[in-house]
Amino acid sequence: MTSRAQSRFGRLAPSLVFAAFLAMAGCATGPASPPAPISSGKPRVDPGKSGQQAGLEEPTSLHANGMEIDANGMPVPMAGEFTPEFLEGKDLVRAGVLLPFSHPNSGVRAEAEGMLAGIEMALFDHAPDSFVILPKDTAGSRSKTVEVAEQARAEGAEFFLGPLFGSSVAALNEDRFLAGMPIIGFSNDRDVAGGNTFLASISPEEEVAALVEYAVNNGFRQFAYFGPQSALGMRIETALQFEASQQGGMVVASGFYPDGSGSPTSEAEYLATSINNASEFGGPVAVLIPERGTQLRKVAPLLAYYDMNRETKLMGLSGWNDPSVWREPSLKDAWFVAPPKTDLDAFETRYRRIYGRAPTSLAAQAYDAAALAISLSADGELEREELMAEDGFVGLNGLFRFVADGTAERKLSIYQISPTEGARLIKPGEMAFQPDIG
């Protein structure tokens, strides 16, 4: 059981991590997919009946993706709100789940299924039988996202979990037919947050801030970047520049290489030379490498190949939280930032038992978002004020809270890679937020 955060809307904010639910394996043992609405307490509705909505009538006026529009240009609630037969007569809370199940990229499709599986686990762990999710396939397309979101609203959705991509979140924000509906999205593009749109993702800016703070507190004032010259890479390097300056440090060198390059030797040599040439500043240098997996194992050893006359410490983001990279010799004693592992390890064990495979990288974030939405919508509404509870919430990914701009603030942990212990916790994530001043 994780610790609980104090909350202004209750004596204690509900922990999002409970004991294993009863008999879940009998309800959801196969691969996750979006065939039909899902509620707790009963098996899924027959996928063959997912499109049937009793009582739907042909609209007699203008439409937006099948929704009737009134004289003021706003959608008219349709008579066919989805209600499982065994829940007839109950006041239901319906959440639209907007994920790219048919995206052309197989990795994205797998991630969408993993996220739905995480949401299903939260549903069966925490939801009353009056809570229903309406999975919708966005295909990763802006127009499709709007279309299926409007369908979900017509079926009675009060709020949305998803979409995954920033462009899809932005499309919902721009649609006046969905204006005001709460969204808990999973994009890491901060620009699409705000208003009633919240992002449950862990942003690279926040990870960089946690790493730099720890490094500065442990004697590092100089930093370097070695990573891809991609939009995300540039964004991470900008965050490093900003956080270093905020903490009284500086970035002495940045080495960019083409995104996906498996052997950026000339760029590694350039970075090593640049770090050596900055020796007049003295002191050790912390080098951030924002890669993961196979690419990280290819890139990290290159810096060790070129002699540097400075003490260096390699650092990484949460993509390093992967046992397959901890065996790389060049990463010995390196630091990386990630959510607390204790509850994530237990989640992974349960997920494997239920679905027969490892959870995807965002499955736990989806679980946390769903569990939070279930808890806060118990009265039938998901309100901005409750989502922004100052003391936050405790989930699988540790303590977090939504702030005014719609992004999630998190308390992350720092780990050190050890050849004998794997990833050793060296700085636990804090279990409380400091009160706002002023």
- CATH number of the domain that residue 363 is part of: 3.40.50.2300
Task: Using alpha carbons, select from 126, 24, 90 the residue that is nearest to residue 350.
Answer: 24
Residue 16 domain flag: no
Helix (H, G, I), strand (E, B) or coil at 154: helix
Give the strand pairing for 335-338 and 413-418: antiparallel
pLDDT at 431: 84
Strand extents, DSSP E, 162-215: 183-185, 197-199
Task: Using alpha carbons, select from 314, 313, 367 the residue that is nearest to residue 339.
Answer: 367
Same domain, 98 and 43: yes
Cβ(161)–Cβ(154) below 8 Å: no
Residue 19 domain flag: no
Partners of 198 in beta bridges: 184
- For the chain, the first-to-last Cα distance in angstroms comes to 34
pLDDT at 212: 98
Alpha-carbon span 128 to 196, nearest angstrom: 24
Structure tokens at 243: 């956080």
Residue 152: partners with Cβ closer than 8 Å, 6 or more residues away: 94, 96, 98, 134, 136, 160
Residue 11 domain flag: no
Same domain, 293 and 145: no
Residue 3 domain flag: no
pLDDT at 222: 95
Structure tokens at 142: 């802006």
pLDDT at 37: 59
pLDDT at 318: 94
Residue 374 domain flag: yes
Alpha-carbon span 117 to 366, nearest angstrom: 9
pLDDT at 195: 93
pLDDT at 5: 47
> Which bin fits 81, alpha (ψ -120 to 50), beta or left (φ > 0)?
beta
Radius of gyration (C-alpha) of the chain in whole angstroms: 23
CA atoms within 13 A on the CB side of 36: 18
Same domain, 220 and 288: yes
Please identify which residue in the block is written with the tokens 């394996």: 25
pLDDT at 7: 36
Residue 68 parent element (H or E):
strand 67-68
Same domain, 110 and 182: yes
Structure tokens at 376: 């806060």
How many domains is the chain built from? Answer: 2
Same domain, 327 and 310: yes
Residue 231 domain flag: yes
Structure tokens at 353: 């038992």
Give the strand pairing for 131-137 and 38-39: antiparallel
Residue 370 domain flag: yes
pLDDT at 86: 60
Same domain, 92 and 162: yes
Structure tokens at 55: 């009582």
Cβ(338)–Cβ(361) below 8 Å: no
Same domain, 269 and 392: no
Same domain, 304 and 364: no
Same domain, 183 and 310: no
Same domain, 119 and 223: no
Alpha-carbon span 280 to 326, nearest angstrom: 33
Same domain, 34 and 183: yes
Residue 2 domain flag: no
Task: Using alpha carbons, select from 184, 138, 177, 126 the residue that is nearest to residue 159.
Answer: 184
Same domain, 211 and 273: yes
Mean pLDDT by 10 residues, the chain (438 residues): 35 33 33 50 34 32 42 49 66 92 95 97 91 94 96 94 96 92 94 95 95 97 96 96 96 94 90 85 91 94 81 95 92 95 90 96 96 91 90 93 94 93 92 71
Alpha-carbon span 127 to 20, nearest angstrom: 13
Task: Using alpha carbons, select from 259, 217, 220 the residue that is nearest to residue 236.
Answer: 259
Domain that holds residue 172: 24-201+343-406
